[in-house]
Chain A
C-alpha cells in the first residue's frame, strides 16, 4: 500500500484563487519532504525541499511567494499555489525520505495531484 498519500488527486480552480495540496507520510516520520512539478511528457522538476519545523529551501527559479510550502509536522507537508494562473496547471508530486542517512533510506512518492487552473 501507499506510504505517502497526496490529496487532492485532481483539482480545478479559478484563475486568481489559491489551492492547497497535502502530502502525508503514512508509515513513517519524514523530516524531509520534497515537492516536484512535472510538465506533460517531461521529467520531474524539483521545486523545493521541505524540512519539518523550518522554512523550505526553494530551487532556483521557483517563486517562494507563489508556491508556499509548510511542513508543520513529521507526517504532513502542504503546498499552496497562491493566485493561481493557467500556466500553473501541472502535475505536482510530493515525496518523503524515510530513515536516516545511510544505505537503508528510500524516497517514496505520493500519487500526484493534477492542478488545472481555468
Chain B
C-alpha cells in the first residue's frame, strides 16, 4: 500500500547545527511529496513541496529533493535556529482526485541555544 516512513525522533540539536530528517515513501504512480511543520499548539503549515522526480522544494532555508530512484524526500537545513523547534511531517499525495494526504508519524525537532 501507500505509506510514508520518517525517522524516529526526537531530534535534538544545538543552534546552527546541520539538520537532516529522513523520509522515504511507498506509492503507486507518481505522487507529490510534501513537508509540513507544526509548531506547538498550532495547526499544520506547508513548508515545501515537490511534484515530480528531481524537483527540489525549498523554503525558509529548508530543502528537500524528490528522489524517485531511492523513493526519498529527506528534509535538510544547513543551520537550524531555536525557532525551528517543531514537529515535521513528511507526506505524499497521490495523483488521484479526492485522495487525502498520507502522513508519516512526524519527527520532533528541538533546537537549543
Contacts and interface: CB of A to CB of B under 8 A. Distances in A.
Interface of A: 6, 31-32, 34, 41-44, 46, 49, 51, 93, 95, 97, 100-112
Contact of A43 (B43, B95, B97, B105): B105
Contact of A109 (B45, B52, B98, B105): B45
A107 B101 contact: yes
B109 to A, nearest CB: 13
Contacts of A100: 97
Contacts of B62: none
Given A97-B98, A101-B95, 20 more contacts: A6-B43, A31-B98, A32-B97, A34-B100, A41-B108, A43-B103, A43-B105, A51-B98, A103-B32, A103-B95, A105-B93, A106-B32, A106-B34, A107-B34, A107-B93, A108-B46, A110-B43, A111-B42, A112-B42, A112-B43
Interface size, B (range)? 20 to 34
Interface in B67-113: 89, 93, 95-98, 100-101, 103-106, 108
Given A34-B101, A106-B46, A101 B52 contact: no
A44 B46 contact: no
Interface in B32-51: 32, 34, 36, 42-46, 49, 51
B37 to A, nearest CB: 11
Nearest to B55: A103
